Chains A and B, each alone.
Chain A
Amino acid sequence: MSIRGAVHIAGAYEHPGRHLPDLTVPQIHADVARGALADAGLSFSDVDAYYCAGDAPGFGGMSMADYLGLRCNEIDSTETGGSSYLVHIQHAAAAIAAGHANVALITLAGKPRTGGAAPGGSMRSSAPEGSFENLFGLNVVAGYALAAKRHMHEFGTTSEQLAEIKVAASTHAQHNPNAFLRDVVTVDEVLESPMIARPLHRLDSCVITDGGGAVVVVSDAVAATLERQTAKVLGTGVAIKHSTGGRPDLTFTGAAVSGPKAFAEAGVTPSDIDYASIYDSFTITVLITLEDLGFCKKGEGGQFVSNGGLLARGGKLPFNTDGGGLCNNHPANRGGMTKVIEAVRQLRGEAHAEVQVPDCKLVLAHGTGGTLATRMGSATVILGQEDA
């Protein structure tokens, strides 16, 4: 059974705040849930399935279903870090296609800026790998720097090429009034920013923001009753890539598996995609993911992103037109939800006019949770216009 075309994203909402000292995490979950349901033309009483990840407080889905007053027949709290919400879309699609649910709500919220959470979250102390990784000073940036260094070694990728990714994100972010960083930066400014873990600079890194987002996934029957333009879910793919008993290959990500699965289900190829939201915890995350998804050959990511390759205007593949995690928003240190939301905006023609892709019919969103150096959860979602 394929879920192709069986479900639709009917509502999408990104919290406008990036600094939220006066809201609790449950309040932010509730605000984005209300926003996404209102966007769809639905209400809390319509929701019969709920999805959340490790950012949800307390007992996760049970605590939040209680707080929100949801009556759920279906629940899932799959945790793959920042990609969780794309995994949830696949799970919601399967549940809806199987007849277990009609209206699935997926929420994300967190306060790493004002709530004191460690950047990137923290591993549970019970992790079996714990004393063989953190003991050596592995941190979030270093976990991506190790992959960047190996990619540079094998393929000649340069810091200038990585910086091009930040430049493109910042070029888009200038048009987003809610973006955390709105100044357009140059390649030189990225290279001159403080080095955090060689070869990654501060400006190779995503922002740390409070906030959240939500999407609503519905059945055919529900979609037919709504006035709002919906996005058809055409294909999904999920993969866990891990350290393989101590033989990690740092030159690829789980996108090399999740991408082809999503493309096969959707029945499309990378060259068909009009717009892509690519997970951008760091510039290197984008570059390797583009290769793994098949937008260019392995090792040619640096060349692909150069000369404005990712720009909405004149680029080969318009990406992260909201400014992405690199400039706009990385709520709760998890960028997957905002990737889906901007992809939906593009399909609806509701991105900022300066970055809207003309005649946008087919979009891709990709999430990467965890760390490139060790283990990650990768998830790809392909969406299309309803006549796709």
Chain B
Amino acid sequence: MTDQLPSPTPATTLETEPFWEAAADGRFVLPRCNACDEVIWYPRLFCPSCGSNDVSWFEASGNGTVYSFTVVERGQGGWREHSPYVLAYIELAEGPRMLTNVIDVDPDTVAIDMPVTVRFDAGKDGGNIVRFGPAS
């Protein structure tokens, strides 16, 4: 079920290492453009809103709401045995919509606009993946 989803070590690049290093420490960080203040997702050291490369990281609130979601009944590959699982776009309090999983929840109770908070999910493979669960 959804509390033991695949959590492989994420492939990182020079641009995304800070995100995953923070996650490993239990911190949820986001990149923000210092030129136009846009909070950027997915993480990159470039602002697709204004074209600046002056980007820095800040600690995010970890709060959000469900923008859309699907309960995947038939996952593919390594996800097959973990179905059903919830794949969702979470609209973060800071603005961006982030693709992730909603865990620690009965999939039948997930709804659009549901408040959620960040979870650092070690999963079954020992990685530290940023997922979300119901806000307490």
Contact = CB atoms under 8 A, between A and B. Distances in A.
B41 A245 contact: yes
B85 interface: yes
B104 interface: no
B120 interface: no
A281 to B, nearest CB: 15
A146 interface: yes
A131 B75 CA distance: 18
Contacts, number: 119
Q: Which size bracket describes the interface of A in this complex? A: 35 or more
B73 A194 contact: yes
A138 B69 CA distance: 11
A84 to B, nearest CB: 23
Contact of A153 (B13, B15, B68): B68
Given A128-B42, A130-B11, A197 B72 contact: yes
B10 A131 contact: yes
Interface in A85-130: 118-119, 125, 128-130
Given A197-B74, A248-B97, A136 B40 contact: no
A243 interface: yes
A137 B96 contact: no
B101 to A, nearest CB: 5
Contacts of A196: 72-74
Contact of B40 (A195, A246, A374): A246
Contacts of B16: 131-132
Interface in B90-136: 95-101, 112, 129, 131
Contacts of A131: 10-12, 16, 20
Give the secondary structure class of B's interface.
loop
Choose among A130, A139, A145, A245 the residue with the greatest number of B CB atoms under 10 Å from its CB: A245
Contacts of A195: 73-74
B8 to A, nearest CB: 7
A149 B86 CA distance: 13
Interface string B59-102: 00000000111111111100100100101110000011111110
B97 A136 contact: no
Interface string B20-56: 1000000000000000001111111001110000000
A135 B8 contact: yes
Given A196-B73, A197-B71, A136 B12 contact: no
Contacts of A243: 41-42, 97
A248 B82 CA distance: 27
Contacts of B48: 244-245
Contacts of B82: 137
B52 to A, nearest CB: 12
A327 interface: no
Contacts of B41: 132, 243, 245-246
Nearest to A135: B10
Contacts of B43: 132
A185 to B, nearest CB: 19
Given A128-B15, A194-B74, A246-B39, A142 B87 contact: yes
A297 interface: no
A150 B89 CA distance: 10
A64 B122 CA distance: 46
A153 to B, nearest CB: 5
Contact of A146 (B12, B39, B69): B69
13 contacts: A130-B11, A131-B11, A133-B99, A135-B10, A136-B131, A146-B88, A149-B112, A150-B67, A198-B71, A199-B70, A243-B97, A246-B40, A373-B99
Interface of A: 118-119, 125, 128-133, 135-139, 141-142, 145-150, 153, 194-200, 243-248, 250, 373-374
Interface of B: 5-6, 8, 10-13, 15-16, 20, 38-44, 47-49, 67-76, 79, 82, 85, 87-89, 95-101, 112, 129, 131
